[in-house]
Amino acid sequence: MGEFSDDDSPDPQKGLLLHASCVSFDGRAVLITGVSGCGKSGLALQLMALGASLVSDDQTEIALRDDFLIARAPVAIRGIIEARGLGILNAETVEQARVVLMIDMDRSEKNRLPPARTTILLGHSVALLWQVEAPHFASAVLQLLRFGRYA
């Protein structure tokens, strides 16, 4: 994997800056996107409580390295996450991780067994989920990161 340098800028030729939180489990990252206040940091905190590590909160840089999408935190916000009602917290982090999943918190899943969805980031297909408003959502996301989806 190629390395980021602190002078990498998220321009269209090199990458992009997303309004997204990002956590990683065993080097596999999930981007959590949505408008302010939709629960990005809350879901990230739930996943971290289950064993994931923070990549970035609220803003995530995405770049293409060795044909993989790689996420990392902008320098100014590395190692911190907002917990609404508590403040800014320090967190265990990984510097970068390979993006394998994106969750759109602005859309709610209504299907019991939803279709496989994808989105395109920097020309690469990424699995896409919509928010599930159920207590098991974070656990199910971690299960998906660990073992994948059945058929």
For residue 104, the domain's CATH number is: 3.40.50.300
What residues in the chain have per-residue pLDDT under 50?
1-13
Question: Residue 103: its pLDDT value, please?
Answer: 98
pLDDT digits (tens, 9 = 90+) for 89-118: 999 999 999 999 999 999 999 999 999 999
Structural domain tally of the chain? 1
Is 1 part of any domain?
A: no
Question: Residue 76: its pLDDT value, please?
Answer: 95
Residue 85: domain span: 15-139
Question: Residue 14: its pLDDT value, please?
Answer: 67
For strand 60-65 and strand 68-72, is the pairing parallel, antiparallel, or unpaired? antiparallel
Measured in residues, the chain has a length of 151
pTM for the full predicted model: 0.88
Is 22 part of any domain?
A: yes
DSSP-derived secondary structure letter, 114: P
Q: Where are the alpha helices (DSSP H) in 1-148?
A: 40-49, 137-147
Residue 16: helix, strand or coil by DSSP?
strand
Is 40 part of any domain?
A: yes
Q: Rounded to the nearest 10 degrees, what angle do helices 137-147 and 40-49 cross at?
A: 60
Angstrom distance (rounded) from CA 122 to CA 117 = 17
Question: Residue 80: its pLDDT value, please?
Answer: 97
